Amino acid sequence: MDDYQGFLSTDVDNRRAGGGNSLIICNWTLMRRITFNLALIFSSMLFSANRSV
């Protein structure tokens, strides 16, 4: 959950900063969010598979 709070705060900081460098930071934030979501989906899939066995 702390990680997710970090995503939100970095998003706001990126918008405030602007400039050419923010695009790289935004892409990095997006990659981290996608990875985080995939990890959530993967763990929930594992959890449901374990229950059904």
User: pLDDT tens digits, residue range 1-18?
Assistant: 445 555 555 555 655 555
What confidence category does residue 36 fall into, taking pLDDT thresholds of 50, 70 and 90? very high
Residues with Cβ within 8 Å of residue 10, at least 6 apart in sequence: 25, 29
> What pLDDT does residue 40 have?
92
DSSP secondary structure letters along 15-40: HHH-TTHHHHHHHHHHHHHHHHHHHH
The SS3 of residue 13 is: helix
The SS3 of residue 50 is: helix
pTM: 0.42
Which stretch of DSSP H or E encloses residue 6?
A: helix 2-17
> What pLDDT does residue 1 have?
46
